[in-house]
Amino acid sequence: MNNWASLGLALLLGSWTLETHGGSLKLLGSFKVPHAGFTEVVEDHHSNNPKDKFHLFISSFNPIPLTTDYVYEVAHIGSHLGNVAGIKPKVATTTVTWPNEVNEVPESVFHKNMLTVSGGFLVPLKTHGMIELLDYSSEPPKGPYRITDEATDSKWFYHRVMWLDMNGDGRLDAVTCRAEKPVVFGGPKGQLIWFENPGGSNALKHTWKSHVLDNGADVYFDIVKLPTPQGKKDCIITAGFFSKSLNIYWTTDSKGRWNDKSKVKRRVIDNHIKAVFDVKATDLDHDGKLDLLVTSNDAHDASMYIFEIPSDFRTGAFKKHVIATKFASRTGGVGKGAPGSPLVFYPQVKKTNVKPWILLSGDDDGRAHLLKPRSEAHGDFKYSMEDVLDVGSGTVGKIAAKDVDGDGYSEVFIPGYNQGLVHVYTTKV
């Protein structure tokens, strides 16, 4: 959703203005998508033509109860950049209530082009969450194939799916966080959970068995391998929006399995940065070591942070840097907040021997922000920040970036929710 904390609750659309800026990104054009909330570019693993290799998916959700929500697809997006205004997305599915992130499934899971759509939110009559699989090898995509159980999971909503072999059977399983928040009685709840891949023909015919790892994690997370003196370990890092806690999980099982909960450990990295919105593990200062890029979300004063990961994440100190601050919703109202999810990318996709750039969805501050490192020095986390899009009092959703036409430069896709537009940029200026 508008990344998520506010699109569902800000039901009254505010007025908006559109400003686009020159400089580091060049606007190629905009095309219509009603209620554009999330964008994601997924790869066709069986295509060799650069302009046919990628597909753009856009999640669209309407806060009015009983309305239909959509996931749209622009197949072969790289072949459409010459006439962006003429792009007419096709409906990929209407079966997911309040679709959130679209996530690519690793090719090794099904050996074909598959993606997940996560759904549900705390909006009246749209709380029924689910995770569905779509086969985008053809147009329109085949499916959906639901892996969550409709009866037992209907109160939960889901936002992101990632993949990891959790029980050591050689098959990647679906890992996610889920949340619920009763409208009247009771407080919010969250769970870190995984769904067991049954393998074979059953994987697309039946729901998958669920395994709850812990309570508290609720919306966004990342999975990464981190070094320890005893070797690398798989870790799950969770951004707790309701729990207001940034946590890291790992397993002490000698074979790296997560199916024995007594061996799953948790450590709090930070619980003093308000509602933790999103987290990405990536090398931000080009020193060969991963860092955590983290956003908090607040109506009045929120920030973006970098945490340096210590040599042993289990015991060492995570050094925190504030890289941008004073984010706030441009208008008042229940559920308003800023900023949203960050995106780390390289403007020239093959020039990775430098620090990457950061694109940040401003969420209800109505902007898309571009942050560029001020120097190439290791350990220097200072950035310049410019606005590449300003939609006024509207909401900017989740941004995607990829070189979709093979020219060596990243294309950027920014959804304007209230506008009903997706803006397309290139870093080739």
Residues 191-232 pLDDT 10s? 999 999 999 888 999 999 999 999 999 999 999 999 999 899
Asked if residue 83 belongs to a domain, the reply is yes
Asked if residue 86 belongs to a domain, the reply is yes
CA pair distance 317, 268, nearest whole angstrom: 11
Q: How many CA atoms lie less than 13 Å away from 219 in the CB half-sphere? A: 30
Give the model's pLDDT for residue 369: 97
Asked if residue 240 belongs to a domain, the reply is no
Expressed as residue numbers, the domain containing 417 is 25-94+403-428
Q: Report which DSSP code applies to 107.
A: H
Asked if residue 38 belongs to a domain, the reply is yes
Of the candidates 39, 21, 23, 22, the residue with the CA atom closest to the CA atom of residue 31 = 39
CA pair distance 76, 404, nearest whole angstrom: 8
The pLDDT mean for the chain works out to 92
Asked if residue 17 belongs to a domain, the reply is no
3-state secondary structure of 262: helix
pLDDT (average), residues 50-69: 95
The pLDDT confidence band at residue 13, using thresholds 50, 70 and 90, is: very low
pTM (2 decimals)?
A: 0.94
Our count of domains for the chain comes to 1
Asked if residue 30 belongs to a domain, the reply is yes
pLDDT (average), residues 53-78: 96
Contact status, residue 392 vs residue 377, Cβ threshold 8 Å: no
* CA trace torsion 422, 284, 233, 239 (10° rounding): -50
Token pair, residue 353, equals 């021997």
Asked if residue 395 belongs to a domain, the reply is no
Give the model's pLDDT for residue 335: 78
Rg (CA), the chain: 20
Asked if residue 68 belongs to a domain, the reply is yes
